[in-house]
Amino acid sequence: PLVSMKEMLNCAKDNGYAVGQFNINNLEFTQAILQAAEEEKSPVILGVSAGAGRYMSGFKFITRMVEALIDELEITVPVAIHLDHGSSLEQCVQAIHAGFTSVMIDGSHLPLEENIELTRQVVDVAHAVNVSVEAELGRVGAQDSGVITNPEEAYAIPSECEKLVEETGVDCFAPALGSVHGPYKGEPNLGFDRMKEVMDLTGVPLVLHGGTGIPAQDIQKAISLGSAKINVNTENQISATNAVREVLNSKPELYDPRKFLGPARESIKETVIGKMREFGSSGKA
């Protein structure tokens, strides 16, 4: 059933595993991720970016699609629909109104006080209807920017994280500590010392963005330091597209989209199952 992230993340933090946020881009992504969660008996978070929202005919349609799939596929594990990197109060309200059970307000580009003010407004609205809220501080590297080389410029500052979490009452929190959206150029350089500080100071489940391409031992370390939600998008996109390419390359005559979208869906499902096992969420629903 559809639930907020609050309980699933608190439970994950208390029990030393992380729940995956897997971004959806279309019907096949959504089917694959829900089926993987059901087979693995894992809680799951469906991430929806504003761009993916527009691509899929809006937040309302997405909620209806997810609800219909939960019904038709007989999904019994906890599922959250989460606005990923929400950019304004209006956008968060739109998602909540459409039936999303969780929102992220990403005010990380704002000065601290403005980020806190915006986040607090979102929390006020969201908590009134049992919707969970994620906030962010610091900068997650942009796609193709590669590895962050100057931590002082981009990494979240622990004392600011403490202030934001305390003054806003968010349910979970994403301190940017060197992770990057999209593939990494070279090894990621995650700020584990700060992650531990942020965990100790805030006490809320932490979120690791840019989950694609982070080595397994770094994932385990992040989980041990309080990261209870890990976001993955690019890795599923790559596996889906590789599957499509393989089919089309081997059968240039093919014209039925189901013949390449089916294998794409299958490879997303396999990728998600692998992540759920790596994050330790399998069997936890």
Question: Which residues belong to the active site?
Answer: 84
Question: Which member of 20, 78, 138, 182 binds ligand G3H (CB under 6 A)?
Answer: 182
233 counts as binding ligand G3H under rule CB under 6 A: yes
Question: Which member of 141, 178, 211, 280 binds ligand G3H (CB under 6 A)?
Answer: 211
Per CB under 6 A, which of residues 7..66 are in contact with ligand G3H?
23, 47
What CA–CA distances, in Å, run from 142 to 65, 145, 148, 184?
30, 5, 10, 10
Any binding-site annotation on 85? yes
Q: Given the complex with ligand G3H, which of 26 and 247 has the nearer CB atom?
A: 26
Which residues make Cβ contacts (< 8 Å) with residue 20, sequence separation at least 6? 42, 44, 45, 211, 229, 230, 231, 232, 272, 275, 276, 279, 281
As given in the structure block, the two tokens for residue 122 are 């979102």
- Give the interface segment with ligand G3H, choosing from 68-76, 90-98, 146-154, 231-239 (CB under 6 A): 231-239
209 counts as binding Zn ion under rule CB under 5 A: yes
Question: Which member of 190, 232, 243, 264 binds ligand G3H (CB under 6 A)?
Answer: 232
Beta partners for residue 70, in sequence order = none
Q: Given the complex with ligand G3H, which of 13 and 181 has the nearer CB atom?
A: 181
271 counts as binding ligand G3H under rule CB under 6 A: no
Q: Given the complex with ligand G3H, which of 106 and 197 has the nearer CB atom?
A: 106
Q: Given the complex with Zn ion, which of 170 and 285 has the nearer CB atom?
A: 170
Q: Are strands 172-175 and 102-105 parallel, antiparallel or unpaired?
A: unpaired
Alpha helices in the chain (DSSP H): 6-15, 27-40, 50-55, 59-72, 89-97, 112-128, 151-154, 158-168, 192-202, 216-224, 234-250, 258-279
Q: What are phi and psi of 84, to 5 degrees?
A: -95, 130
Q: Which does 234 bind (CB under 5 to 8 A by kind): Zn ion, ligand G3H, none?
A: ligand G3H
- Give the interface segment with Zn ion, choosing from 187-195, 201-209, 215-223, 239-247 (CB under 5 A): 201-209
What CA–CA distances, in Å, run from 268 to 105, 199, 210?
27, 31, 17
Q: Which of 50, 57, 180 is nearest to 106 (CA)?
A: 50
Q: CA–CA separation, 60 vs 253, rounded Å?
A: 37
Per CB under 6 A, which of residues 72..131 are in contact with ligand G3H?
84-85
Cα dihedral 186, 174, 52, 147 in deg (nearest 10): -10
Q: CA–CA separation, 104 vs 233, rounded Å?
A: 16
Minimum distance, C-beta of residue 233 to Zn ion, in the bound complex (Å): 8
Question: Which member of 42, 115, 212, 281 binds ligand G3H (CB under 6 A)?
Answer: 212
280 counts as binding ligand G3H under rule CB under 6 A: no
Q: Given the complex with Zn ion, which of 82 and 209 has the nearer CB atom?
A: 209
Give the binding site for Zn ion (CB under 5 A).
Answer: 209
Give the binding site for ligand G3H (CB under 6 A).
Answer: 23, 47, 84-85, 181-182, 209-212, 231-235
